[in-house]
A and B are shown apart, each in its own frame.
Chain A
Amino acid sequence: MNEDVVIKTDKLTKRFGNFIATNEISFEVYAGEIFGFLGANGAGKTTAIKMLCGLLAPSSGQATIAGYDIYRQTEKIKQNIGYMSQKFSLYEDLTVMENIRFFGGIYGLKARELREKSIELVETLGLESESNKLVGSIPLGWKQKLAFSVAIIHQPKIVFLDEPTGGVDPITRRQFWDMIYRAADRGITIFVTTHYMDEAEYCNRISIMVDGSIRALDTPYKLKQQFAAQSMDEVFFELARGGKKAE
């Protein structure tokens, strides 16, 4: 694995009034790795991801994404990342093809490149017969896969996935992770949040957030050793319980 750091944060903090959503989080993500960003609902994952994507300005702390500063170079950052939000992120009243063309268009793909890409993408997903159907009419699993493909259509350095497999059946989730692996093989760094602990096992390294802070960060294997746990589930419960006690 390449040891280049593509995401580096130092005491990154976001406050909303008196509420601290993310509290001095510091971590590094290496190029080409699949980094799992775990935490219970409300632990501050989405806030952190939004800061890293340049959607939210941090209250304090430092961070660089693909070598660009999170405060001053958000435009550069945006050119180098892909983002798939927690909410469904395609237009339901546009067809599969129109969605691909639109997102390809806003990432500045050239007309020929876009045409080739969209045909290739539809083929890989097996959506040839659906390509002229409205996205609203295709099953959720397909939508999520399509949304992921669209998020990496411009070959970003890093892609941020905010709970990409929420509400999707296990088989589709498996297929989705196959896609994530293929993207990682092509050199795209994956930053993914989830609260499915089996998915955590698929990641190269994971961090676990509790109440806005990162409580653990390592490979799934080492974390299990550290907490003397059989599965990631146990590790997570151990940490999450600690969070509730602290309150």
Chain B
Amino acid sequence: MKQFKAFVQKEFLHVFRDPKTLLMLFGVPVMLILLFGFALTNELKNSKIVICDFAHDEASRDITERLSAGGIFIVGQTISDYTKIEETFKAGNIKLAILFPAGLYDNLMHQHKAQVRIIADASDPNSAATLTGYATNIIMEYQRDLLKEAEMPMQIIPEIRMLYNPELKGATNFVPGVMALVLMLICVLMTSVSIVREKELGTMDILLASPVNPFLVIISKAIPYLFLSIINLIAILLLSTTLLDMPIRGSILLLLGESILLIITALSLGLLISNVVQSQQAAMLTSMMGMLVPTMLFTGFLFPIENMPVALQVISNIVPAKWYYTIVKAIMIKGLGIAAIWKETMVLAGMTILLLLISFKKFKRRLE
């Protein structure tokens, strides 16, 4: 116990003596939250559109008004020359062009059929699809309101409710993602680097020649990072609930527990990396390439996993952050309890045990 105390003290001293590490520990999470929160949003607000109106009637005016009222579209220009549409797209920052043909209202009233053309800039296919969807909805809404006056015998009105995230805020998606990313980053990177540093400096030899149990060396390395990660986690949660209105609907204790599980997974991964590589640079590179990239790609907060080819979907299952991400979303956004996420928890726990076993085995071999 005395040995353990001496070790943990020493590890904390290492961390606090190194301002660069500290800055990275606490700067990166805050930066990520702010970046994803305010700058890198995938919500489509204030998209500029151009209206090409040949109708100039009640219908075209009404629809145009509705389009500009929602906060999603800004009507940048109204033109009446069809050939100029492409020009406006090329000039940039126009996302949609909406074309009302002449006699729109008349056709609608008398032939019960009218066409509105929506032209989208599909160089960004996701936002093109989303924006045309918004625009179509607005036009449908107008049509329904018209029908109220001229009652139709039958109609289906789809009523759409966006559960858990009615305002379709991006934060619900990326905050859990950033949490996973930060915990993985700090724990994997810091543990692997700090263990490899002792190997590089030669102090590991001294420690191994002392009566200290090697596992104690490793465990005491993990303690400061476990502690700092929990502080980090609390900081992320505070920032995202206050600044980004992120809800925590489920139990905070459960959330903390699951996070500690991920931290331990990450620590054991860091341990494994430190056993395989010989230099601090190698440890850093392996952690970055081996952890950061898969976490970004396969967690699902940047790219939906369901849209990936089957092979990649299978690969995504070995990324611990993916399971954690599902768990965190379930707890924070849906307010679910352990009953709903026990499977994911088991997967994560299984991974941790496996990683620990492999790295302890590897570590023992290193002594010989």
Contact = CB atoms under 8 A, between A and B. Distances in A.
B and A form one assembly: yes
A79 B17 contact: no
A108 B10 contact: no
B77 interface: no
Nearest to A87: B202
Contact of A93 (B2, B18, B367, B368): B18
A91 B14 contact: yes
Nearest to A46: B205
B253 interface: no
A50 B343 CA distance: 47
A106 B6 CA distance: 7
Contacts of B202: 85-89
A55 B208 contact: yes
Interface in A95-124: 98, 101-108, 111
Interface in B1-57: 2-3, 5-7, 9-10, 13-14, 17-18
Contacts of B10: 91, 94, 98, 102
B67 to A, nearest CB: 62
A105 B5 contact: yes
A177 to B, nearest CB: 22
Given A79-B211, A93-B14, A94-B13, A85 B205 contact: yes
B18 A106 contact: no
Nearest to B216: A106
A239 to B, nearest CB: 28
A83 B209 contact: yes
Interface string B200-223: 011101111111100000000000
Interface in A142-189: 160
Contact of A105 (B2, B203, B205): B2
Contacts of A57: 367-368
A72 to B, nearest CB: 13
B9 A102 contact: yes
Contacts of A106: 3, 6-7, 207, 210-212
A108 B206 contact: no
Nearest to B14: A93
Given A91-B10, A102-B9, A107 B203 contact: no
A54 B209 contact: yes
A81 interface: yes
A90 B13 CA distance: 14
A89 B7 CA distance: 16
Nearest to A89: B206
Interface residues of A, number: 34
A102 to B, nearest CB: 5
B217 to A, nearest CB: 9
Contacts, number: 80
Interface residues of B, number: 24
Contact of B203 (A54, A89, A98, A104): A89
A215 interface: no
Interface in B315-368: 367-368
A65 to B, nearest CB: 11
A83 B205 CA distance: 9
B6 A78 contact: no
Most chain-A CB neighbours within 10 Å: which of B3, B9, B209, B368?
A: B209
A90 B14 CA distance: 13
Nearest to B206: A89
Looking at B3, B10, B14, B368, the one whose CB has the most chain A CB atoms below 10 A away is B10
Contacts of A7: none
Interface in B152-211: 201-203, 205-211
Residue among B14, B17, B205, B368 with the most chain A CB within 10 A? B205
A125 interface: no
A53 interface: yes
A86 B206 CA distance: 10
Given A78-B209, A107-B210, A56 B368 contact: yes
A102 B18 CA distance: 18
A108 B209 contact: no
B210 A78 contact: yes
Contacts of B9: 102, 105
B331 to A, nearest CB: 39
Contact of B13 (A86, A93, A107, A160): A93
B206 A83 contact: yes
A209 to B, nearest CB: 20
Nearest to A82: B209
A78 B14 CA distance: 25
A187 B13 CA distance: 35
B210 to A, nearest CB: 5
Contact of B2 (A50, A86, A108): A108
B18 A105 contact: no
A198 interface: no
A84 B368 CA distance: 19
B120 to A, nearest CB: 57
A130 interface: no
Interface in A26-80: 50, 53-57, 75, 78-79
A105 B211 contact: no
Contacts of B13: 93-94, 98
Nearest to B9: A102
5 contacts: A85-B209, A89-B206, A94-B13, A98-B10, A106-B210
Given A86-B202, A87-B201, A91-B201, 10 more contacts: A55-B205, A55-B367, A79-B211, A85-B205, A92-B201, A94-B10, A105-B2, A105-B5, A105-B6, A160-B209
Which 8 interchain pairs have the tightest Cβ spacing?
A105-B6, A87-B202, A83-B209, A57-B368, A78-B211, A53-B209, A93-B17, A79-B211
